[in-house]
Chains A and B, each alone.
Chain A
Amino acid sequence: MNKKLSGAQLVLVPITRVGVNRLPFVENIAKRYVKFIDFVATDYLPDTTARGIMSSNGMFITIADMYGNTKLMDNLPMSRLDYANINAGVRQAIGAKISMQDCFITNMSASNVGKMCALMVYYDLEEFSRRNMSDKTIVDFVTVPIVTCQRYNKFPDSDRMAGKRFRRILLDTYNTIAPDFSQLVNQAYLNSVFVTLRKGSYNVVENMPIKLLQQYAFLEKTEWANIIFDFNSSYITIGGAGTITGQSNYLDHSIMFNFEYEA
């Protein structure tokens, strides 16, 4: 399986009971080849005031194939999908088309009831990815100013990177000031920041927690399959739909990425 990522979408699973909680149907992922699923431990979620689950303890996931009658993962401890956990190791591959309605989370913890379990689903998206045409790459930085603690903190236009094919998207969590002297959001508050990369009207990457882009911390190399997207329609979302506490930690600050793309 080609481990390079193309499509990615955050799926929120309402945990309504102790026991089985089914995944919602997501049209973009249906009939798509799913590569990985990450459990995302975050409190504030994009575009909702519902709170997220901060720990994978007491949760197990079952993934069914596209016909719904074969379990690709049968009650796998959710901690195995907690990629951002320092002890997690490499991502657990799925490598198949799945039936989301036949997938479920078995929740054993009463404290999780009423919250949302956030799963980052990575799937094959051939329409917005390309093969390598060159070995040479260029790295640039982009700072996204945070003007609202909700959606649509828009990426700045970039002539230099317009129409490029992107291979790596890197986040540095130590920096406090960007090369353009923007004040950066402190690493303590990055858990509630999500990025959406759009091409036209399609979300190539939708609500991806930016903490998952911190390559420094992870054992497995995260690479993208020369994905294409438009800067002028992509944006950052702060979780909580305006209810997040400590908004001054975000407003008047910026998020900085390093983008590596084909030269």
Chain B
Amino acid sequence: MTQITQNIDLVQIPLRRGVREYFLPNNADWKDQVIDKIVMVLPYYYGLQSPVDGAYLQPLYGGNPDIYLDIYSDDEKLICNGLSVQNLLFQNQYPHEIKSKISTDLSRIYFAEDPVFSEEGDEQRCLLLYVYYGGSQIMDPEPSRKNVSVQINLTAGQRMSFREIIEAYVHVNYQKIRSITVTRDNTNYAPVFLTLRDCQLKYSFVNIYDALFKQYQIYGNADHRRVTHDIFPEDFDLDMDYSYLQNSSMVNPTTVVITFEY
């Protein structure tokens, strides 16, 4: 059996000095859906910016790693009590699976102590979460028979739609794309976010940090591990104009190798 992820929603939680406890948003699309898992993006070091408004993500080193999650189900049962951040991080091969509808009124993320902010400035800080929901299982799908890779160079802040990538660089019947993976290396590294939409607006992957689509391992480097990506639903009809890559750095260009399997 293979787990298919149908939707990944980006949740940005702004942090405030002296505030330790934060609740999940009440008005999200996934409020009454079964949540598969919640993945948190905590970069190792300060500098990664949110694709939404440029706020800096709270780092692991130099920030405060004592972040915990309490999750209540929709019938107000405590199903996660003090789940620690390492079991939620995007680098974790197997983040904790929730598999339940949750109560956003009661579920919370909290710091054991006040979150640490750098001394230089009072700039906005945030936590970035990805909520996976609406997943289902299918029998073992047929393996992809072909794949093609293309290297994309993005200037600072550049956005490139999949239509531009596929029509200009990759000659493939894009309606049959099974999955997308991203390969990065340590040089020339600026964060890239992917937005993937289908033509029927049934599925949604918005501003997904590229690390969630990575599938490679650099030996001896603890920053990068092989992460298994979820295969797209079989009826995912990629909207080529409204699906895109975006270099979220406003300063540095970057290079991405993107692989399509079909």
Give the B-binding residues of A (Cβ under 8 A). 86-87, 135-141, 168, 170, 172-181, 214-221, 256, 258, 260, 263
Q: Would B99 and A175 count as touching, CB distance under 8 A?
A: no
Task: Tell whether A216 pairs with B68 under 8 Å between CB atoms, given A174-B60, A179-B82.
Answer: no
User: Measured between alpha carbons, how far is A138 from B73 in the docked complex, in Å?
Assistant: 10
- B60 to chain A: which residues have CB within 8 Å? 174
Query: Measured between C-beta atoms, what is the minimum distance from A137 to chain B in Å?
Result: 8
User: Measured between alpha carbons, how far is A120 from B29 in the docked complex, in Å?
Assistant: 46
Q: Would B112 and A170 count as touching, CB distance under 8 A?
A: no
Query: Interface SS of chain A: helix, strand, loop or mixed?
Result: loop
Within 8 A of A (CB), among B75-93: 78-87, 89, 91-93
Task: Tell whether A178 pairs with B86 under 8 Å between CB atoms, given A141-B81, A221-B94.
Answer: no
What 5 pairs across the A-B complex have the smallest Cβ distances? A141-B82, A172-B84, A174-B65, A172-B86, A177-B112
User: Measured between alpha carbons, how far is A217 from B220 in the docked complex, in Å?
Assistant: 12
Give the bracket for the number of chain B residues in contact with chain A.
Answer: 20 to 34
Give the A-binding residues of B (Cβ under 8 A). 60, 65-66, 68, 78-87, 89, 91-94, 96, 99-100, 110, 112-113, 219-220, 222, 225-226
Minimum CB distance partner of A160 in chain B: B81
Minimum CB distance partner of B61 in chain A: A174
Q: Would B66 and A138 count as touching, CB distance under 8 A?
A: no
- B99 to chain A: which residues have CB within 8 Å? 135-136
Task: Tell whether A176 pairs with B66 under 8 Å between CB atoms, given A139-B96, A216-B89.
Answer: yes
User: Measured between alpha carbons, how far is A169 from B13 in the docked complex, in Å?
Assistant: 28
- Residue from A135, A139, A140, A217 having most chain B Cβ neighbours under 10 A: A139
- B65 to chain A: which residues have CB within 8 Å? 174-176
